[in-house]
């Protein structure tokens, strides 16, 4: 079984062609690498104890991002900055593979305080894995 580091690096490498495909360049203060940990009790309180463990999130300037958690494999996606502290997150491999990706992806509101990024759901289709991975943790900048 491949380690999480190798899977994350592979997902990043796979996301690189998205830049050539016209991904939006980003410069918001949210761009960066983040980590988070959820205890079993915290994950259960959020509704899914299977998500207990470590999370990683990398929001890049080239309009792509990679996330992973203890339950799911690393996944690459695209993101676009919207007005009013919102991000559109779309072209999600896991959501597309499961048939859950909706046109336009999901919309999330971001806030950043003392190096801690919080993502809150604005609108999303049936891709609950993306929603949970993004909104359950409070992300700490690495």
Of 54, 49, 34, nearest to 110 (Cα)?
A: 34
Two tokens, residue 121: 């759901």
End-to-end CA distance of the chain: 26
Quote the CA–CA distance of 42 and 55 in Å, as a whole number: 13
Summarize the confidence of residues 55-84 as an average pLDDT: 90
State the average pLDDT for the chain.
84
Quote the CA–CA distance of 141 and 105 in Å, as a whole number: 25
pLDDT at 17 exceeding the cut of 90:
no
User: Which range has the worst mean pLDDT, 10-19, 82-91, 111-120, 126-135?
Assistant: 10-19
pTM: 0.79
> Could you give the angle at the alpha carbon of 91 between the alpha carbons of 48 and 113, nearest 5°?
60
pLDDT at 120 exceeding the cut of 70:
yes
User: What 8-state DSSP symbol labels residue 122?
Assistant: E
Question: In the structure, what pLDDT confidence band is assigned to residue 3 with cuts at 50, 70 and 90?
Answer: low
> What's the pLDDT score for residue 71?
82
Domains of the chain: 4-141 (2.40.128.50)
In tens, the pLDDT along 19-53 reads 334 456 898 999 999 999 999 999 999 988 988 99
pLDDT at 86 exceeding the cut of 90:
yes
CB atoms within 10 A of CB 83: 5
């Amino acid at each position: 079984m491949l380690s999480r580091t190798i899977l994350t690096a592979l997902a990043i490498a796979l996301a690189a062609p998205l830049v050539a495909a016209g991904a939006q360049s980003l410069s918001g203060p949210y761009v960066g690498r983040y980590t988070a940990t959820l205890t079993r009790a915290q994950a259960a309180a959020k509704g899914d104890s299977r998500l207990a463990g470590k999370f990683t999130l990398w929001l890049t300037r080239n309009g792509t991002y990679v996330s992973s958690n203890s339950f799911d494999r690393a996944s690459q996606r695209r993101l676009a900055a919207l007005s009013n502290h919102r991000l559109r997150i779309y072209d999600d491999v896991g959501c597309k593979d499961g048939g859950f990706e909706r046109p336009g992806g999901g919309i999330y509101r971001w806030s950043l305080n003392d190096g801690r990024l919080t993502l809150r759901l604005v609108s999303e289709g049936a891709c609950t894995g993306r929603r949970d991975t993004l909104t359950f943790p409070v992300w700490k900048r690495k």
